[in-house]
Structure 1
Amino acid sequence: MIERFLDWLTAPLYRVLGPLIALSHRVLDRMPRPLDPFRSIKLKLSILLGISGGVGLSVFWLSIGWVEWRTAFSAAAVGVVILQIFAHGMTKPLREMTAAARAMARGDYRLRVRATSRDEVGELARAFNLMSADLAAADQQRRELIANVSHELRTPITALQGVLENLVDGVSIPDDDTLRTALTQTERLGRLVKELLDLSKLDAGATPLNLTSVEAGSLLSNALSEARLGHPGIRFVLQEPTSQLRIMVDPARLQQVFANLLDNAARHSPAGGTVTVCGNRGSNVTVFDVTDRGTGIPPLQRDRVFERFTRGYPAGRDGGTGLGLAIARWVVELHHGTIAIVDPPEGIGCRVRITLPDQPALGGQNDEHPTGD
């Protein structure tokens, strides 16, 4: 309350003096800085105190003609000591930031600055702590990305190397099963490389949408045809909507979403299982559901599976890379839509729901909205 009253009281003064203060700052910025050679703020403040005290004594001497020098020097000494004591707390955050910055240069992001003051130094300390936390999170994500990519690349490469070594050594013959195993691992490598390229586009935030009006049934039929080729043992069913659904989307990007979801659903379905896709018109939105009859994803993990390299299954069990759902969310959010895992029918399996607005990018077709996951 008091701060608002003071702001109201001083606002007219700032409006009058604001341009003069800004002009003085520009003038002072152009002036030399004689105290820059000194490496201590406390020393600079002591020099300023001495200069101001000397000017005051000079004015006092010129006014009355005499000065009690012992008293003046005693007061100056006491002032310097008090200044050193109080300036220590003012400059301590700056020294801590220097130590933390040097530690960060060595890769250690654990140090934080004690930020208790409410002045500019305190604001700087809080901003520094936030920056340090962000850098620590980014460094942790980088380490996890390298570790996960190394693991994902090593698995198919090791399997493919084993197959080829057996063929070269004559342990196995190039029959259909052996060649099919090599092809499967090669396709897995190709899928990982493609998803990593999409991931780099996501981080760069440089993927414009090429919006066009398409018929949803035709788009879903094409996605299902590709899924049947990759998973011949799974039955894919398209539930036709009650009316013709036309949506304004980027067809290539949205088909990529359904390709990832169908591949994910097929790998998590039992042998001979069924994956169902349906679309319906809602209030100013179009809703798509991709449902499988697998073991499903626990409710506590339904949000995390959209993060990079996160799966609802143990690593390596389903042959996935952990990037498909992260890329799907990125594309859906580019269309200003939502994607989530909802309760499946009868509590069995997994259902992924996509909700797309009728006008996904009303402000322009080159909208960019990369996620941080």
Structure 2
Amino acid sequence: MRPAVSMSAPDPRESAPGLRPLRLLPSFKVKLGVLVAVSVTVAAALAWLGVRAGLHPLITIPVIVIIALVITQILARGMTSPLRQMTRAAQAMARGDYSQPITATSRDEVGQLAEAFTVMARDLEETDRMRRDLVANVSHELRTPVAALRGQLENLVDGVTQADPASLQVALTETERLSRLVDHLLDLSRLDAGVIQLDPQTIEITPFLHEAVDHASLVARARGRDVHWTIDVRPADLTVDADPERIHQVIANLLDNASRHSPAGGRIRVTAAPGEHGDGVWLEVRDDGPGIAFEDRELVFERFQRGGSADSSGGTGLGLAIARWAVALHGGRIEVLDDDLPAHRESGRSSVIRVTLPTKP
């Protein structure tokens, strides 16, 4: 949470319509012209009245200057009010407070600037929140495998445990988890920088999915996950033009997610078929896990999220976010579909994720 920042309340006179007589004029240049015209007219009228009244210039000139300055101040205050508000808001933003209000009632250039400043402040606040969340979540995700790896290595060094295959496997598992997190963070940095280029090739879906499942099954067995895999591609010679590396990344993340959430002895089904209108190919992964709540079907594709809560299943919490990004690069979509399992159908939960890829990326 951002620490509270004490700020003085905005001056109510800044937004009082009565003190902004020029607010309805459409242009700042027109307002300046009116301001000069009014000041000159008032000064000329007062000078004429002074001459008519027979007053000495040493008396009339100071009076005319003071009155002209007062009128100019009254008219200019409303013109510059949004600028003063933006100055205070910018100073507050430098201290981490994005809540300073900016009242823009005019339609001139200053009013447009105030509206753009408000949008910028909102975007900066969201960016700052995402940055803090990213740092907090990365720190959390790094701390768990680092602590486990350190504890295991300390036991080996102190002679508490022997360097047998089982203890080394624990250390290897945590190291692989760290490696996955680093790889995912690098992918996200490329995502944000927009430096990824696609290399479309014709992918034969059947051998492609078999290769991905073989790798996923090895990872699942290394974790002690006892799950069964089935692959169904119709027709068997189905192909799609896409970047093999990116699509493998998508499928690998979906299979990894499914294996981590499947119960012991559960079945993970991977299917592929042409799109309903022949305009693409869909790839689908479903498992026997608890499923995703209906209200969380979009949230699971956000970074470090899993079903509406921070990821605690052993993954990095980034897999589905990266999968959505890679699919979007191809012009496709990834979504959680309704599940036909009776228990899931009644509760609105689902363990079915479908990737739809267009014929040409």
Q: Is TM-score (shorter-chain normalized) higher than 0.5?
A: yes
Which of 207, 229, 242 lines up with 1:236 in the alignment? 229
Give the whole-Å Cα distance in 1 for the aligned partners of 2:206 and 2:43. Answer: 86
Question: Which structure 2 residues correspond to residues 257-276 of structure 1 after superposition, within 5 A?
Answer: 257-276=250-269
Q: CA deviation at 1:75?
A: 6.5
Counterpart of 1:337 in structure 2 is 332
Q: Tell me the equivalent position of 1:107.
A: 96
Query: Does structure 2 retain, via aligned residues, the 8 Å contact 1:115–1:126?
Result: yes
Matched, 1:151 2:140: yes
Does 2:111 match 1:116? no
**Are the aligned partners of 1:288 and 1:355 in contact in 2 as well (CA < 8 Å)?**
yes
What does 1:185-334 align with in structure 2 at a 5 Å threshold? 185-232=174-221, 233-282=226-275, 283=277, 284-312=279-307, 315=310, 317-334=312-329
Q: Offset of 1:146 from its aligned partner?
A: 0.4
SS in 1 for 2:341: helix
Q: Give the RMSD, CA atoms, in angstroms.
A: 2.9
1:351 matched to which residue of 2? 352
Structure 2 distance, partners of 1:358, 1:169, is 58
Residue by residue, what CA displacement relative to the aligned partner does 1:16-44 show, whole Å, maximum 9, x if unpaired? Answer: xxxxxxxxx9xxxxxxxxxxxxxxx99x9
Is the contact made by 1:50 and 1:76 (CA closer than 8 Å) also made in structure 2? no
Q: Which runs of 5+ in 2 are unaligned?
A: 1-28, 345-349
Listed as ranges, the matches of 1:157-196 within 5 Å are 157-196=146-185
Q: Displaced runs of 4+ in structure 1, greater than 3 A?
A: 48-57, 66-80, 313-317
- Offset at residue 313 of structure 1 (A): 7.0
Q: Deviations over 1:197-250 (max 9, x none)?
A: 001000001101001112111211111111011012221111121352111100
| Pairing of 1:15-164 with structure 2 (within 5 A) | 48=36, 52=40, 68=52, 77-164=66-153
Structure 2 distance, partners of 1:117, 1:315, is: 44
In structure 1, stretches of 5+ residues that fail to align are 1-24, 26-40, 361-373
Measured after TM superposition, the shift of residue 315 of structure 1 is 3.9
Distance 1:313 1:159, change over 3 A: farther
User: 1:194: how far off?
Assistant: 0.5
Q: Structure 2: how far apart are the matches of 1:304 and 1:257? A: 17
Contact kept? 2:206, 2:236, Cα under 8 Å: no
User: Secondary structure in 2 aligned to 1:116?
Assistant: coil
Residue aligning to 1:7: none
* Deviation, structure 1 residue 108: 2.3
Secondary structure of the 2:353 match is strand
Q: In structure 2, how many angstroms separate the alpha carbons of the residues matched to 1:208 and 1:337?
A: 16
Give the TM-score taking structure 1 as reference length.
0.77
For structure 1, which segment, 276-285 or 311-320, has the greater mean C-alpha deviation from structure 2 after superposition? 311-320
